[in-house]
Amino acid sequence: MRALIAEDEPILAATLAAALRRLWPELEVVATCLNGPDAVARALALQPDILFLDIKMPGMTGLEAAEELAERWPDGRAFPQIAFVTAYDDYALDAFEHAAADYVLKPVSDERLGKTVARLRQRLAGPAQAGGGDLSALLDTMRALLPAPAPCARLSMIRAAVGNQVRMIPIGEVVYFEALDKYVNVVTETGQALIRTSLKELLPQLDDKQFWQVHRGTVVNAGCIASATREESGKTVLTLHKRGERLRVSPLYAHLFKQM
pLDDT, tens digit, for every residue of 151-160? 678 999 999 9
Written out in words, the top-level CATH class of the domain with range 2-145 is alpha beta
Segments making up each domain of the chain, as ranges: 2-145, 157-257
Amino acid 216: pLDDT:
85
CATH architecture of 157-257: Beta Barrel (2.40)
Looking at every residue in the chain, the average pLDDT score rounds to 85
Q: How confident is the model at residue 97 (pLDDT cuts 50, 70, 90)?
A: low
Report whether pLDDT(129) > 60.
no
pLDDT tens digits for range 25-70:
999 999 999 999 999 999 999 999 999 999 888 888 888 888 888 8
Amino acid 163: pLDDT:
82
Residue 167 backbone phi and psi in degrees, to 5: -95, 135
Report whether pLDDT(9) > 70.
yes
Compute the distance between CA of residue 250 and CA of residue 260 in angstroms, rounded to an integer.
19
Report whether pLDDT(238) > 90.
yes
- Identical topology for domains 2-145 and 157-257: no
Q: How confident is the model at residue 133 (pLDDT cuts 50, 70, 90)?
A: very low
pTM of the full predicted structure? 0.71
Mean pLDDT along residues 210-220: 94
Mean pLDDT along residues 121-146: 64
Label the pairing between strands 192-195 and 211-215.
Answer: unpaired
Report whether pLDDT(99) > 70.
no
Amino acid 130: pLDDT:
44
